[in-house]
Amino acid sequence: MLNSSMNKFLFLLIFLSLSYNSNGQKYRVKYVQEKADSILKSYIGDSLFVYCHRSSKSVYEYRDFFLNSTWETFGLRKKTQGKFVEAEMKWDVQIPYSKCPAYDTIKGTIGFNLDRLLYPRTKPVLDFLPDFYLKNDSCHFISESEVLNIAKSQELKPGVGPLTARIEYDKDSKTFNWYVTNVLSKDEGEFETRSEILVIDPKTSKVKRHLFTISQY
């Protein structure tokens, strides 16, 4: 009875091993990366690809001998592990754009998925690219110095330092906003900062919102 059970167990192990090895697929990491680069380049062209840098957040899914699923970054390994299932490839993008001094570096992330045979399952999403870049036009935005002058005219509360300004792009609404921050106080015991923030339209110069916030640091 014991021998029969042992034989069944050994048979199961052999069957699983043969099945795993026949269906399993490993790739050289460099090959996967170069394949993904080539696919991306075919979508966006050489002129935009030069600003793309592989992200350390690219990951792949594999299954081990017992078909447990695991996600792993490509890291420093030369080969992928286990049975390759799919990959999420990402590139960090920074494009210098002198036609818009207020937003002179367009930043974002491009990504798409590869299936187990390294064919693209999805198309690269380029929603971080503003319309003025796609039209090769100026953004026609007010400058940082102009937006700071607008903020100073709004009778702000006394702050503990100079005003700071940053411009941000909302890829969903495809709109930009200037954010001017006036730090009112810092509580080092509570690791807390109280700020006054103005949200200003970079095209019309209108103050869209006047906010008071508390943030942790």
DSSP-assigned beta bridge partners for residue 72:
60
CA separation, residue 11 to residues 7, 34, 96, 143 (Å): 6, 40, 61, 73
Coil, helix or strand at residue 97: coil
Within-domain flag for 75: yes
Same domain, 128 and 160: no
| pLDDT at 204 > cutoff 50 | yes
Same domain, 120 and 38: yes
Whether 102 contacts 96, CB under 8 Å: no
Within-domain flag for 30: yes
The H or E element containing residue 77 is none
Number of independent structural domains in the chain: 2
Interatomic CA distance for residues 116 and 87, integer angstroms: 8
Among residues 134, 163, 195, the one where a domain terminates is 134
Within-domain flag for 6: no
Task: Give the burial string for 39-55 (b: 16+ CB within 10 Å, else e).
Answer: bbeeebeeebbebbeeb
DSSP 137-179: ----PPPHHHHHHHHHTT-PPP-SS--EEEEEEETTTTEEEEE
Same domain, 106 and 40: yes
Same domain, 100 and 156: no
Nearest to 103 by CA among 46, 48, 177, 164: 177
Within-domain flag for 200: yes
Same domain, 105 and 167: no
Same domain, 161 and 93: no
Predicted TM-score (pTM) of the model is 0.81
Within-domain flag for 72: yes
Same domain, 24 and 126: yes
Among residues 134, 162, 194, the one where a domain terminates is 134
Same domain, 20 and 99: yes
Within-domain flag for 191: yes
Residue 10: count other Cβ atoms within 10 Å of its Cβ: 10
Same domain, 105 and 32: yes
> pLDDT tens-digit profile of 111-157?
999 999 999 999 999 999 999 999 999 999 999 999 999 999 999 99
> pLDDT tens-digit profile of 23-77?
458 999 999 999 999 999 999 999 999 999 999 999 999 999 888 999 999 988 8
Whether 167 contacts 102, CB under 8 Å: yes
Looking at residue 20, what is its pLDDT?
42
Among residues 114, 134, 154, the one where a domain terminates is 134
* Domain span at 26: 15-134
